[in-house]
Amino acid sequence: MSGFAIICDARKGHGLGIDILVLVDRGKCRSQWWTSDDPTIALDYTKKSAAQFAARRLKRNHARVVPFEHAVQALRDQAREIMHNEAMDDAEAGWDGHKGYCA
């Protein structure tokens, strides 16, 4: 049986494919509170009641509790979308895209 995660709607990053954020386990990563693409640092609550208690304290961006597998899958899908968008941006530059960076 797996646990639960807290997700919220992202305020920025929609153009990059970032729609949700997952609460980070601060024991694993102290430099950020939310992640958009790294499921290895997502906080995994064992009890749904504990996750709901924590989510109620978050007042913005529609924080909610979901099964942990759902959060991990959403992060993986989002990471794929981010990489796709970055690749498309690189492809748009074309064969002479480097000319825009030269002085």
For every residue of 78-98, DSSP letters joined together read: HHHHHHHHHHHHHHHH-TTGG
Integer Cα distance of 34 and 43 in angstroms: 10
Mean pLDDT, residues 61-75 taken together: 96
Residue 74 pLDDT greater than 80, yes or no:
yes
Residue 12 pLDDT greater than 90, yes or no:
no
Q: What is the pTM of this model?
A: 0.78
pLDDT in tens, 19-35: 999 999 999 999 999 99
pLDDT band, very low/low/confident/very high, at 5 (cuts 50, 70, 90)? very high
Integer Cα distance of 62 and 35 in angstroms: 16
Q: Are 21 and 10 in contact (CB under 8 A)?
A: yes
Please classify residue 22 by burial: count the beta carbons closer than 10 Å to its beta carbon, then call 0-12 exposed, 13-18 middle and 19+ buried.
buried
